[in-house]
A = this chain, B = another copy of it.
Amino acid sequence: MSDFQAWMTERQGRVELALSNALSAANIAPMRLHDAMRYAVLDGGKRVRPLLAFASGELTGADISRVEQAAIAVEMIHAYSLVHDDMPAMDNDVLRRGKPTVHVEFDEATALLVGDALQSRAFEVLSQPGLTSDASTQVQMLGILAAASGSHGMAGGQAIDLESVGKTLELPELEFMHILKTGALIRASVTLGALCGKPMDEVAMNKIDHYAKCVGLAFQVVDDVLDSEASTATLGKTAGKDAAQNKPTYVSLLGLARARELAEELRTDAHAALAGLGSDSTRLKQLADYIVLRKY
């Protein structure tokens, strides 16, 4: 196992434990809701957003136990969005992370409430007293997570995605959609991780934000590439879904070869953005590689 893989495995385990601790036990009322919240969040996913938060926290010498809380807050937002996105009114998907989706395993009303309650819980976790040395930074972090989640962030991206089904989008429109839908939360992960540590100057903040933009887009481009070539078994979610739903993707707009090239270019840009940040940015660099080179 490479040093990076060992780091990643350790952090993923830490996230799993922290998430488990932050979610009410399934035997606490309302039991069905708590059971379903745990089902939606635990034992799943690559935890890319938490990993990005940990990596950028290393840049500012952040206390790992603080970053961990920011990381799970972001992951709860991500998990809630998947639960709602999978519902019949949205993507109507039955498989997620190799398991039946929440509305299939439980029911639609429970899935709705699971998403709602996970969003609240994310903000509750991030409001814990003493999460940062300075309470005004913590207020700033809460504002960043809220903005990234809302109508000018993730939820707005979902809305544009919905409107785009069956339409011919141009590349700038597709990009705008993804910048909101997945990009906003990925940028927030990187920023929140850094804010857990020592204050960063504006130049450095802009560098990691540019890095996060590149990684966010690359993540989506690679998702589209994998969706077009991989099997459902490998992905753990329904493959070829976008094409079946006639949704525009980077592959449908650019072709497979150019989409692969674009992901490579974004990886190079992400690396370049980290120039001058020193060896503490190694994990961010490795994560850009991981995100682009992953096979599922």
Contacts and interface: CB of A to CB of B under 8 A. Distances in A.
Interface stretch (A8-16, A104-112, A219-227, A243-251): A104-112
Nearest to A125: B146
B117 A115 contact: no
A6 interface: no
Contacts of A121: 146, 150-151
A260 to B, nearest CB: 29
A81 B139 CA distance: 24
Interface in A255-294: none
Contact of A156 (B107, B117, B135, B151): B117
A247 to B, nearest CB: 14
A135 B24 CA distance: 28
Given A87-B112, A109-B162, A127 B142 contact: yes
Nearest to A156: B30
Interface string A123-145: 11011110100111011101101
A41 B126 CA distance: 26
Interface string A57-95: 000000000000000000000001100100101100000
B115 A151 contact: no
A119 B119 contact: yes
Interface stretch (A32-40, A44-52, A195-203, A230-238): A32-40
Contacts of A153: 120
Contacts of A18: none
A184 to B, nearest CB: 11
A149 B149 CA distance: 16
Between A84, A152, A160, the greatest number of chain B beta carbons within 10 A of the residue's beta carbon is seen for A152
B117 A120 contact: no
22 contacts: A24-B151, A29-B156, A32-B159, A33-B159, A37-B151, A81-B116, A90-B109, A90-B112, A110-B159, A112-B112, A113-B162, A120-B149, A120-B153, A121-B151, A123-B123, A123-B143, A123-B145, A123-B146, A124-B143, A127-B140, A135-B136, A138-B139
Interface of A: 24, 29-30, 32-34, 37, 80-81, 84, 87, 89-90, 107-113, 115-117, 119-121, 123-124, 126-129, 131, 134-136, 138-140, 142-143, 145-147, 149-153, 155-156, 158-160, 162-163, 176
